Amino acid sequence: MIKNRKAPRRPGRLEELRNRLRAAEDTLRALRAGDVDALVVTRAGDERVVPLQGADLPYRILFDQMNEGAVTVMRDGVIAYCNRRFADIVGTPLARVIGAPLRRFVPPADQAALEGLLQGGSRENARGDLSFRVADGSPVPVAVSFAPLRAENSADVIGVVGVIRDITERKQLGDLRNRLIEQVITAQDEERRRIARELHDETGQSLTALLVGLRTIEGSKTVGQAVELAQRLRETTAQTLLDVGRLWRGLHPGVLDDVGLAAAVTGLAEEFARLHGIAVDVRTEGLDADGLSPLLSATAYRVVQEALTNVARHAGARTVRVRLLREEATVELRVQDDGTGFEPGHGGRLGLRGMRERAALLGGSLVVESHLGAGTIVTAHLPVRGA
């Protein structure tokens, strides 16, 4: 009987299997020891970098706690590593970010800027602003910083490491600041036009009347006529002085430096009542305490002044209530009238916009409540710095 025997394995084949077994054992030991940071998985001509959670776990936890995005980009532009914050910025799951090209998350308009920053970051630190694109296509403004990534114990650059910071809030604040500056300039120009009109219509006419009166005195035939004209000119001069005083008080409320905010607002209300025949009830509390800066006092005074001016021009009110209350960290200001009211959403009144701008520049807020036939309430909260 003839027995079939298996052919002996070729020595070369056996040695190859042994080498592969030793390599697998070495890889397993390296994985267990945490000496491997990532694996490159090749399939159908496509390579994907898969990071491992071994000895780098403490560093991974540290990077995941950062407020900024952290990313490692290889020379071919593929993301080898990123933290969770970066995945949040681009609005994409972490598993879909790693192994993807960085340019996938940058809109076409910023592709050239990204390439320039990556090239600069492969030589030295490079910084700039870009827009990233989240999964739904919406842009996110970011500030990026790239630096060279070198191989261990080598000067060869194998990629770049980057820090990405979401600057949406900073950009919004910058836009708000620009709008406020533009509105302040507009308000200043409007104020200059108002003062120019008053100088022309009131002060200019009064000075012209004085000039004509002086010429008339020169031609007086009797002393009695000259005295009568002089008396009229004195009255005109006194009124002109009052008008000019009102103008310079409008330009700079120097009374604040002399008597303080409470007395200045009270005097302003009394003058308003005398000029317009509208009853004003003023109540102040806590304004004598220390801590009110000149800017805060001037802002509160101007808001009250503008609110009363709006009452005189538009409200048709009979009474006005003014309240100024100092709390620990804020000054609350309220001006309430019983006039005709208006719809706040219709017609942007420059006076209301100017008051909001003044409050916003101090970090405060101003709210206008009004309804037709129900009067208007202007309420402002102004922070006390250092309180």
93 and 145 inside one domain:
yes
pLDDT of residue 113: 92
* Residue 146, pLDDT score: 93
Q: How many CB atoms lie within 10 A of CB 263?
A: 15
**What is the C-alpha to C-alpha distance for residues 67 and 85, in angstroms, rounded to an integer?**
7
Q: Following CA atoms 200, 201, 202, 206 in sequence, which dihedral angle do they give, to the nearest 10 degrees?
A: 80
Specify the pLDDT at position 347: 45
Dump pLDDT digits (tens) for 123-176: 999 999 988 988 888 888 999 999 998 877 778 888 899 998 988 888 888 887
| Domain-located, residue 7 | no
C-alpha closest to that of 280 among 332, 198, 331, 337: 337
Task: Quote the DSSP letter at residue 128.
Answer: E
Instruction: Note the pLDDT of residue 250.
Output: 63
Average pLDDT along the chain: 79
Which of 166, 201, 219 is the C-terminal boundary of a domain?
Answer: 166
How far out from the chain centre does Cα 289 lie?
Answer: 31
On whether residue 328 sits in a domain, the answer given is yes
What is the average pLDDT across 41-55? 50
Give per-residue pLDDT as tens, 346-376: 544 556 777 887 888 788 889 888 888 888 8
24 domain residue, yes or no: no
State whether residue 51 is helix, strand or coil: strand
Q: What is the mean pLDDT of residues 108-135?
A: 90
Find the mean pLDDT for residues 207-235: 81
Judge whether residue 116 has pLDDT over 80.
Answer: yes
pLDDT of residue 199: 74
Are 265 and 375 found together in one domain?
Answer: yes
Q: Could you give the number of structural domains in the chain?
A: 3
Between residues 240 and 1, the one the model is more confident about: 240
Three-state DSSP class for 90? coil
115 in any annotated domain:
yes
Which of 119-133, 250-264, 321-335, 363-377 is predicted with the least confidence, judged by mean pLDDT? 250-264
Block residue for tokens 């933290």: 83
> For residue 39, is pLDDT > 70?
no
Q: Exposed, middle or buried by CB within 10 Å (0-12, 13-18, 19+), for 236?
A: middle
The region of weakest confidence among 80-94, 163-177, 242-256 is 242-256
Mark whether 150 and 201 lie in a shared domain. no
Phi-psi region of 65 (alpha: psi -120 to 50; beta: other; left: phi over 0): alpha
264 and 216 housed in the same domain: no
Contact 280, 320 (CB under 8 A): yes
Same domain, 343 and 269: yes
Tokens found for residue 103? 């340019």
Question: Is 356 inside a domain boundary?
Answer: yes
- Domain stop point among 107, 141, 166: 166
256 and 341 share a domain? yes
Q: How confident is the model at residue 61 (pLDDT cuts 50, 70, 90)?
A: low
Percent of all residues in the chain with a pLDDT value above 70, rounded to a whole number: 79
Mark whether 147 and 191 lie in a shared domain: no
Instruction: Give, in order, the Cα–Cα distances in Å from 241 to each of 99, 200, 268, 275.
Output: 79, 15, 18, 16
Q: Which of 143, 166, 189 is the last residue of a domain?
A: 166
Segments in the chain forming alpha helices (H): 11-33, 57-64, 84-89, 94-97, 111-121, 168-198, 204-218, 223-251, 255-276, 294-310, 350-361
Q: Write the DSSP symbol of residue 216.
A: H
Q: Which residues span the domain enclosing 316?
A: 252-387
Radius of gyration of the chain (CA): 38
Say how far apart CA 61 and CA 18 lie, in whole Å: 38
Residue 281 belongs to domain with CATH number: 3.30.565.10
Instruction: Say whether both 197 and 315 belong to one domain.
Output: no
Q: 51: which 2 tokens?
A: 């990071």
- Do 140 and 238 fall within a single domain? no
pLDDT at residue 64, as a whole number? 65
Q: pTM value?
A: 0.46
Same domain for 223 and 345, yes or no, is no
Could you tell me if 325 and 297 lie in one domain?
yes
Helix, strand, coil percentages for the chain (3-state, nearest 5): 50, 25, 25
Tell whether the model's pLDDT for residue 223 goes beyond 90.
no
Instruction: Please tell me which of 22-36, 78-92, 219-233 the model is most confident about, judged by mean pLDDT.
Output: 78-92
Q: Is the pLDDT of residue 38 over 80?
A: no
Is pLDDT at 42 greater than 70 in this prediction?
A: no
In a domain, residue 9? The reply is no
Residue 159 sits in a domain whose CATH number is: 3.30.450.20
Same domain, 259 and 386: yes
Q: Is 25 within a domain?
A: no
> Is residue 228 a part of any domain in this protein?
yes
Look up residue 8 and give its DSSP letter: P
Q: d(Cα 78, Cα 67) in Å, to the nearest integer?
A: 23
